[in-house]
A and B are shown apart, each in its own frame.
Chain A
Amino acid sequence: MSGPELVVFSLLGLAGVGSAVAVVSGKDLFRSTLFFGSFLLSVAGLYFTLEASFVGIMQIFVYVGGVVVMILFGIMLTQQEGARLNASLERRLTVAGPVALLAGILIAAIMTTSFKTVREVPGVDIATLGKLFTNDYVLPFEIVSVLLLAALVGAVVVAKEREK
């Protein structure tokens, strides 16, 4: 990574870590979710620095535009008026402990893996992706639609059940 790339990467990384800390340290679930959105935006920015612009755009569309909105509606649906998060320290530690352990194992695994260094990133453009979807990977492509169908039916059934 050279000059400007390093600057952009550091700024995005800083923004990402900052909002991640804000997510877990906030007392208000709603606000935490908004910070989660800004965290996902920083990750999208990191995808752009890696020249994966399609993944970056889709990250913004699906995660920031869809998933975060869904979580917000979920919170607004279930939250009592003016409720605040205040779990006991003991309960926090029982959750934080395993999560920290898992994060530690993951970081150790990533640090010890010897990744192949690539000088030139082969640019994959979206048209190539479309060709692969409809030629080499047709079956997985169609199976995805079945998977999405299952998700859709499940969502309708669960939500209709709860409405009653």
Chain B
Amino acid sequence: MSTSFYDLINVFVFTLVGTAFVGIVLFVSKLVRCKNPSPEKLAPYECGNKASGEARPQTQIRYYLFALLLVVFDVEMIFLFPWGVAFRSLGLIALVEVALFIGILLLGLAFAWRKGALKWQ
């Protein structure tokens, strides 16, 4: 059941029309609207309060750690996905192999846990 190009052409058309829609709407509104800026109007809106600080403050390292873990488990998912699709026809041996695969990665997760990498302090 490999998908051919023509099965996906509606995805491309959808993407194209969606992108064009955003562009056209922004362009038309630029044509019609009146432009009369003042410092108050140009200030970022923050729930009615006066905005303070930069838009991009420095984040903390624990976000980065979670992003790193996400990438590792993303790659794990790539390898599990084909197995899951063919699961019915593969049988018990494949299940054991995949259990070993996940088991080895669980060791890593246990290590991260022990090191306190998952703790949100």
Residues of A at under 8 Å CB distance from B? 4-5, 8, 11, 30, 45, 48-49, 51, 53-54, 58, 61-62, 65-67, 69-70, 73-74, 76-77, 79, 81-82, 123-131, 133-135, 138, 141-142, 144-146, 148-149, 151-153, 155-157, 159-160, 162-163
Contact = CB atoms under 8 A, between A and B. Distances in A.
Contacts, number: 171
Contacts of A144: 79, 101
A4 to B, nearest CB: 6
A156 B101 contact: no
B104 A145 contact: yes
A133 B82 contact: yes
**4 nearest A-B pairs in the assembled complex, by CB-CB distance:** A123-B2, A130-B82, A130-B86, A152-B108
B72 A127 contact: no
A149 B109 CA distance: 9
Given A62-B74, A126-B81, A163 B2 contact: no
B78 A152 contact: no
A127 B74 CA distance: 19
Interface string B12-23: 100110000000
B contact residues, range: 35 or more
B67 A162 contact: no
A163 B72 contact: no
Contacts of B11: 48
A92 B12 CA distance: 37
B72 A151 contact: yes
Given A54-B81, A65-B74, 9 more contacts: A76-B58, A123-B4, A127-B1, A130-B90, A134-B94, A145-B104, A149-B105, A152-B72, A156-B112
A153 B111 contact: yes
Contacts of B81: 54, 58, 126, 130
6 contacts: A48-B11, A48-B12, A62-B75, A69-B70, A70-B64, A153-B108
Contact of A8 (B9, B56, B93, B104): B9
